[in-house]
């Protein structure tokens, strides 16, 4: 992913009131995606010769040690729950999550107290534990233009960190608010890098999923930002027959099997085996009906999952994507 110059109009369009939770009303604001830098005349000039050794020395990543702030077990549990609601942290593996949890610092704000001021340099992002905050822009006539209200579980302030740009809007506590702040260096070294690696890994995986093979690179990129990774141990149920279904699954590694109750009062019978690259759960999404079978991990199982609302928000109605390959997967719907 390429970084865009902080003076470009792309930064101005992405203010600190984008929102980063799955419940945000914005279409793409909660997707950690850097804009593509436009081609310039300068980019067409012949490249100057650069020593690979010199470039390597210049491009080395600085050594980094995240700060650590002690927290109680109860605080850690609350913070984990809040981070799970904020999209940008979904890419973190368990080790990265522990680093971020340790680096976050408690911040308390009183009603009407400013959290972020438009025009200031941005050096932290915030995750809301409790309280309500108002986001607004200052107008030339001195008035305030309301933009959004933030609720517990949402995150804000990351765009100024991503683009190294001034705060594009102000945020003020509407009630007593408890927040968790994360510094720029930890965000850049852990969260942003993890999101980039996640996208690259998932894009490569999605290319090999038969039902999605007709997606273009842009759609795969957006899908990579939306899917969430989950692990299951052997014998664990991923989905259960009869439950409501609003999640679509893709197998990254491991094996699973589907079982179904064929006769009332008798145990479910195995009816299908799944392997890496296979998918399941689409029938409930297409038909808007309960799960038709169980899916159980047959080994340690790594899946990525996509909720109906995320798929529809990012890529349009799910059936439009799936129907492209209707002839290929019609047999799975029988």
Q: What is the pLDDT of residues 9-44, one digit of tens each?
A: 333 333 456 444 444 333 333 333 333 334 444 444
The pLDDT of 208-219, averaged and rounded, is 75
d(CA 168, CA 241): 48
Of residues 15 and 210, more confidence is placed in 210
Q: Which residue has the higher pLDDT, 82 or 195?
A: 82
pLDDT at 134 over 80: yes
- Please give the average per-residue pLDDT across 77-104, as a whole number: 83
CB 322 within 8 A of CB 213: no
Would you say 237 and 295 are in contact if contact means Cβ atoms under 8 Å apart?
Answer: yes
R_g of the chain computed on alpha carbons: 23
Find out whether 147 and 14 touch, Cβ atoms under 8 Å. Answer: no
Instruction: Of 70, 135, 128, give the one whose Cα is nearest residue 101.
Output: 70
Q: Determine the pLDDT at residue 12.
A: 33
Residues 168-179 have pLDDT tens digits of 899 999 999 999
pLDDT digit string, tens, across residues 231-268: 899 999 999 998 988 888 999 999 999 999 888 888 99
Mean pLDDT of 60-68: 76
The larger pLDDT score, comparing residue 179 to residue 278, is at 179
Query: What number is the average pLDDT over the span 159-173?
Result: 86
What is the predicted pLDDT for the residue at 259?
Answer: 93
Q: 15-29, 69-83, 109-123, 153-167 — which one is most confidently predicted on average?
A: 109-123
Of 308 and 315, more confident: 308
Dihedral, CA of residue 112, residue 117, residue 122 and residue 128, to nearest 10: 20
The residue among 311 and 307 whose pLDDT is bigger is 307
Residue 213 has pLDDT above 80, yes or no: no
CB 180 within 8 A of CB 126: yes
For the chain, list the domains and their CATH numbers: 9-36+66-189 (2.60.120.10), 208-333 (2.60.120.10)
């Amino acid at each position: 992913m390429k970084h865009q110059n902080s003076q470009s109009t792309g930064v101005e369009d992405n203010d600190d009131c984008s929102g980063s939770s799955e419940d945000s009303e914005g279409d793409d604001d909660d997707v950690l995606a850097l804009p593509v830098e436009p081609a310039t005349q300068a980019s067409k000039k012949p490249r100057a010769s650069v020593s690979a050794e010199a470039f390597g020395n210049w491009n080395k990543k600085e050594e980094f040690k995240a700060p650590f702030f002690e927290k109680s077990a109860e605080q850690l549990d609350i913070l984990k729950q809040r981070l799970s609601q904020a999209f940008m942290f979904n890419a973190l593996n368990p080790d990265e999550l522990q680093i971020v949890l340790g680096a976050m610092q408690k911040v308390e704000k009183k009603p009407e107290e400013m959290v972020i001021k438009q025009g200031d340099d941005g050096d932290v992002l915030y995750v809301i534990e409790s309280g309500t905050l108002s986001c607004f822009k200052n107008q030339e006539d001195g008035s305030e233009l309301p933009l959004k209200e933030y609720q517990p579980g949402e995150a804000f302030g990351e765009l100024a960190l991503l683009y190294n740009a001034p705060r594009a809007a102000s945020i003020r506590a509407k009630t007593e608010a408890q927040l968790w702040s994360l510094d720029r260096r930890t965000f850049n070294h852990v969260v942003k890098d993890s999101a980039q690696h996640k996208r690259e890994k998932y894009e490569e995986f999605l290319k090999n999923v038969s039902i999605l093979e007709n997606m273009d690179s842009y759609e795969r990129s957006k899908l990579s930002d939306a899917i969430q990774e989950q692990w299951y141990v052997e014998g664990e149920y991923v989905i259960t027959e009869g439950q409501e279904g609003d999640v679509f699954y893709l197998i990254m590694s491991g094996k699973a099997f589907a079982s179904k109750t064929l006769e009332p009062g008798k145990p479910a019978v195995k009816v299908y085996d799944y392997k890496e690259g296979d998918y399941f759960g689409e029938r409930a999404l297409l038909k808007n009906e309960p799960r038709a079978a169980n899916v159980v991990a047959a080994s340690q199982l790594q899946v990525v999952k996509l909720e109906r609302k995320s798929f529809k928000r990012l890529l349009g109605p799910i059936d439009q994507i799936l129907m492209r390959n209707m002839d290929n997967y019609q047999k799975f719907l029988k």
